[in-house]
Structure 1
Amino acid sequence: MSINAKHLATFILGAAAGVAAHKYLQSEEGEKLLEDLKTKANDLKAEAEGAIDKAPEYFDELKTKGSEALKTSFPDAEAFFKDLYAKFSGKGGTTETDVTVTPDPIS
Structure 2
Amino acid sequence: MSVNAKHLATFVLGAAAGASMYKYLQTEEGEKMLEDLKSKAGNLRDEAEGAVDKVPDYFEQLKTKGTDTLKETFPDAEQMLRDLMDKFTGKKSEPTVE
TM-score normalised to the size of structure 2? 0.84
In 2: Cα distance, 1:20 partner to 1:84 partner: 68
Aligned 8 A contact 1:84 1:93 in 2:
no
Task: Report how far residue 86 of structure 1 moved.
Answer: 3.8
- Count of paired positions: 92
Scaled by the length of structure 1, what TM-score is found?
A: 0.78
Cα displacement (A) at 1:81: 2.5
Please list every run of 5 or more consecutive structure 2 residues that lacks an aligned counterpart in the other structure: 93-98
**Which of structures 1 and 2 has the larger relative contact order (alpha carbons within 8 angstroms, sep 6+)?**
2
Give the Cα–Cα distance (whole angstroms) in 2 for the partners of residues 51 and 81 of structure 1: 34
Cα RMSD of the aligned pairs, angstroms, is 1.7
Structure 1 portions without partners, runs of 5+: 95-107
Identity of aligned residues (%): 64
Shift of 1:80: 2.6
- Residue 8 of structure 2 aligns with which residue? 8
Runs of 4+ in 1 over 4 A off after TM superposition: none
